[in-house]
Amino acid sequence: MAILNILKDEDPTLRKICRRVEEITPRTLTLLDDMADTMHKAGGVGLAAPQVGILRRIVVIETDESGLIELINPQIIKTSDDMQEGYEGCLSLPGKWGITSRPMTVTVRAQNRKGEFFEITGSELLAKAFCHELDHLDGILYPDVALHMLTREEMIEDGLIDG
Ligand code: NI
């Protein structure tokens, strides 16, 4: 168990395309454990491997309702037509907030730590997290797709930061 360094802002690693995990090794499992610890410590809802400098298709997500979700080689296989608009932030972009439009419900197919394929469907925050974290695996950060990035004044007005 270890807390990993989260890459930030303009770090070029955040813009790379991650490779598939072909073989799940003890190192993969250690990485999953460390990513969960790092996400918990940072108070985030999700973390993708490139954010800790590992260019592999691995994601961890945890909302209050979902419990810990580990995704290896995840793919979005279904999205709802109805959308949700709301705040989005990222542990790699501290002090920034944006408004994004994401599908209300998203289904992901992935492998678990035993290499078994499974499907998981999430709505609201979990759906947003699936989109956000899977984008990280292709070097996409939420400001790339945001409808609007909040100004400092807007962040203070909306209570996201202290004035
Ligand atoms: Ni992020």
Rounded distance between C-alpha atoms, residue 89 and residue 143, angstroms: 9
74-81 average pLDDT score: 98
pTM beyond 0.95: the answer is: yes
Task: Output the CA 123–ligand 1 centroid distance in Å.
Answer: 18
pLDDT above 80: residue 50: yes
Measured CA to CA, the distance from residue 69 to residue 67 in angstroms comes to 6
Ligand 1: distance of its center to the CA of 90 in Å? 4
Mean pLDDT, residues 110-125: 98
Residue pair 98/156 in contact by the 8 Å Cβ criterion:
no
Residue 97 has pLDDT above 90, yes or no: yes
Could you give the residue ranges of the DSSP H alpha helices within the chain?
26-42, 125-136, 152-157
Q: Is the pLDDT of residue 148 over 90?
A: yes
85 in active site: no
DSSP codes of every residue in 116-143: -EEEEEEETHHHHHHHHHHHHTTT--GG
Q: How many residues does the chain have?
A: 163
- Quote the ligand 1 centre to 46 CA distance (angstroms): 7
In the chain, the domains with their CATH numbers are 12-157 (3.90.45.10)
> Which is more confident, 59 or 163?
59
Model confidence band, residue 103 (pLDDT cutoffs 50, 70, 90): very high
Q: How remote is the CA of residue 114 from the centroid of ligand 1, in Å? A: 25
Catalytic residue among 62, 70, 88, 133: 133
Q: How are the residues of the chain apportioned to helix, strand and coil, as percentages rounded to the nearest 5? A: 30, 30, 40
